Amino acid sequence: MVKPLVITVLAVAGALGAAGGVVAVDQSVGPPDVVLPVAADGHFWAQGSTDDGSVRLLVDTGATRVSLTRDDAERLGVSLADDAFTQNVLTPGGETPVAVVTLPWLAVGSVRLENVEAVVFEQGLGHSLLGMSFLGRLDGYGVSSGSMRLRS
């Protein structure tokens, strides 16, 4: 997504450059990246939030979707009846029932995405996961010098 301010800055830079002026472009246009330090357990953890609350999420690039424990889903405002767990997903521990939901929005720091697909585990998920249904929609992410950077 190109931001209008970037276009304006580049147009001014081009005009000044053609006239022989010196131009510095601010690389911080747009929301700042979110930087997650590596935790003592060697993992990257993020605080995910919605209008209704926030939960701690283990960053997991191997998880297809944001995956929530039932308790964490309720903290985020997602209430499910027992009969909502109609799909099965394959985990390292075998197949387990889940409910597929769409979060109206999910934010990690300054990065906010709308309509984030998630699954809620009926049971058996130790920690909620920040999976690829969120991470895959970012402009990028990477690990360097003991931290993970989420770029939007």
Q: Give per-residue pLDDT as tens, 67-116.
A: 999 999 999 999 999 999 999 998 888 899 999 999 999 999 999 999 99
Q: What is the pLDDT of residues 23-74, one digit of tens each?
A: 333 345 667 899 999 999 999 999 999 999 999 999 999 999 999 999 999 9
Report how far residue 80's alpha carbon sits from residue 87's, in angstroms, rounded to the nearest whole number. 14
Query: Is the model's pTM score more than 0.85?
Result: no
User: Looking up tokens 């997602």, which residue turns up?
Assistant: 78
Distance of CA 117 to the CA centre of its chain: 11
CB contact at 8 A, 102 and 116: yes
